[in-house]
Chains A and B, each alone.
Chain A
Amino acid sequence: MKPNPTSLENKPPVSTRLRESVLRGPLSPSDDRERMRMVMDSLVLHIHPSKVSRPALKFSYTFGLGGLLLLLGSILAVTGVLLLFVYTPSPDAAYDSMIALQTEINFGNLIRNLHHWSGNLMVVVGVLHLLRVFYTAGFTHPREFNWVMGVALLLLIVAANFTGYLLPWDQLAYWAVTVGTSLLSYIPVIGTGLTNLLLGGPEVGAATLTNFYGLHIAVIPLAIFGIVSFHIWRVRKDKITVPRKIDQEPESEKVTTIPHLISIEFIFALVWLALLLTWASFVNAPLEQAADPSHSPNPAKAAWYFMGFQELLLHFHPVFGAIVIPGLGLLALLALPYLDQDMSTTGVWFRSRRGRWLAGISFLLGIFGTFAFVLLNEYWLDLPAWLPFLPSAISNGWIPLAALLLILYGFYELLKLLGSRACEARLALFTLLLASFATLTFIGIFLRGEGMALVIPWSLFNG
């Protein structure tokens, strides 16, 4: 027999042995070496490296947006599982589940509100996280693929929101999903088949509800969980980009994750949890009349994060508004890190002083340019009527798209002529398009009234 390494006389108490069977080290480490060991030895802490760069802890660098997304994801998982116990995915019972949440179930409204607002906030925070990484050049080599995964995650977040949108089965849900899925049917060749597969038939109905339910509670969350694990692992392996001031080398000081990062994260999460709980206690998630397939509300609007696309549809042929322009935008977004080879500006907000100026100017230009375009198109510009001999796919699709791309290309080349580096010119172009899309979304949400006519916003609320 082998000799027992621990002699029977110094056997630790049962409680210690139990704890050590779960956690591998002491509970409250006293020095940096032990703290680093705790990170290395603990599964829970494995998402962080044992030491982090001190300047990267500065709140005004990351704003904790990635962490906030994780928190929101966790809240959504917990509240989502709770809602599963109440909700029935059938056209006859779904709306009744909503009413039950509002009237019968203890804290039913609070849980639903928390789920609704966290989900919507996640889209906003996801976009902000993307912007933070873009404007601090956090996507340069070797982090290109992590950017791609991030874009995929953002799309999945939107998909999760959209599939969840249908579940209450009220008028808002029914028509937003009808309009949203009709966008897909404009994809050439496979569009109708894809829409039929997604809807489980030619119209939104019982099969659509079970399809969306399955996607919402199983497929999309699992996909998000898998990709997020990969995403965070890559952040850990590639290290976070260290922020720095213009023309200065980044500070190289490092501190242990425990307690420096963990304590910030803990407090940040608690503050946000409090904010969300307060908001969800006082602001109810919308619920309209039960879905009525024979009466579309006027105006019937898509979910707010699709309003930019719906606004595009009012100005372009559907194939271009729904497929070509968003598709080109997505491709450009995925290509960004692979185009950018300028490593010398990584970690600097807006790359340089010129970059800051350009971002500001392009942002304003995007807002005013888009407003001008929408007004012109509403009251004067009418290419299909001026060119009646051309099919509308050319007069309202190819021609305006070509004009748009020429303008953007001209803007890019002009900036380079004026002495901008390629990465600064791209940053300006990105900002212009971002501002333009944000403006379209704003117009779609606040300035479109009955029959999708342009209105001044206060008449929307008075009417």
Chain B
Amino acid sequence: MAENKVSRRDFLNIVWGVAGVVAVTELGLTGLRFLSPRTVEGQFGGQFNLGSPDQYPPGSVTPVEAGRFYLVRLEDSGLLAIYRRCTHLGCAVPYDQGTGQFVCPCHGSAFTADGDVLNAPAPRPLDLFTLSINEEGEILVDTAKAIERDHADPAVVVYA
């Protein structure tokens, strides 16, 4: 065939077909957006002001229930906000004062006080929340987004 002409009938069928695909895509995306999580960025747990670092002696781990995290003061006075959710399967990890470790009750993962993995099956250290010190010298923890890390890096530790 020299010419490959699309007939009027074929053209209209194609147009209707495309319109059908567009309609299904629109409805699908609308549905998906409708169902997407309602939590807005920056609203997961909110901001926490934990006051002066002096209240927390070096080598202490303080649970902050409302924020779902632990405020960790390392032996060298460094500060970390550690999300209590186990990186293995999401159980709440309690801190064991006796051994100075986080030990997950679900599958036996263990973490050091700065969240590094001591014992599998957890695949990575405990997640962190952003911790900063404001002008008045108070600890601020932003729980909007958990920060995942591949290994415990001393650079993330905050010093007052």
Contact = CB atoms under 8 A, between A and B. Distances in A.
A293 interface: yes
A374 to B, nearest CB: 15
A294 interface: yes
A196 B106 contact: no
A314 to B, nearest CB: 7
Interface in B33-83: 35-39, 44, 65, 68
B108 A451 contact: yes
B29 interface: no
Which of B35, B38, B68, B106 counts the most A-chain CB atoms under 10 A from its CB? B106
A179 interface: yes
B106 A298 contact: yes
B91 interface: yes
B35 A182 contact: no
Interface residues of A, number: 34
Interface string B96-114: 0000000111111000000
Nearest to A396: B120
A179 B104 CA distance: 12
Contacts of B44: 201-202
Contact of A178 (B37, B90, B121): B90
Interface string A72-106: 00000000000000000000000000000000000
Nearest to B32: A197
Given A179-B106, A298-B106, A318-B121, A196 B92 contact: no
A300 B84 contact: no
A452 B91 contact: no
A405 interface: no
Interface of B: 32, 35-39, 44, 65, 68, 84-85, 88-94, 103-108, 120-121, 123, 146
Interface in A189-248: 196-197, 199-203, 207, 211
Contacts of A185: 90
A1 interface: no
Interface of A: 175, 178-179, 181-183, 185, 196-197, 199-203, 207, 211, 293-300, 313-314, 317-318, 384, 392, 450-453
A313 B84 contact: no
A313 B107 contact: yes
Contact of B90 (A179, A314, A384, A392): A179
B90 to A, nearest CB: 4
A453 B105 contact: no
20 contacts: A175-B106, A182-B88, A197-B35, A201-B37, A201-B39, A203-B68, A203-B85, A207-B39, A294-B84, A296-B91, A296-B105, A297-B105, A300-B91, A300-B106, A313-B107, A318-B121, A450-B105, A451-B103, A451-B108, A453-B108
B120 A299 contact: no
A294 B107 contact: no
B4 to A, nearest CB: 37
B141 to A, nearest CB: 16
- Most B CB within 10 A of own CB, among A202, A207, A294, A295: A202
Given A294-B65, A313-B121, A452-B106, A196 B88 contact: no
B118 to A, nearest CB: 13
B120 A202 contact: no
A460 B107 CA distance: 16
A317 B90 CA distance: 16
A235 to B, nearest CB: 31
Nearest to A451: B108
Contacts of B92: 293-296
A182 B105 contact: no
Nearest to A210: B38
Nearest to B89: A182
Nearest to B146: A202
Nearest to B148: A192
B151 to A, nearest CB: 12
Contact of B68 (A183, A199, A294, A299): A294
B81 to A, nearest CB: 16
Contacts of A296: 91-93, 104-106
Contacts of A313: 89, 107, 121
A178 B89 CA distance: 7
Contacts of B146: 202
A452 B39 contact: no
Nearest to A448: B107
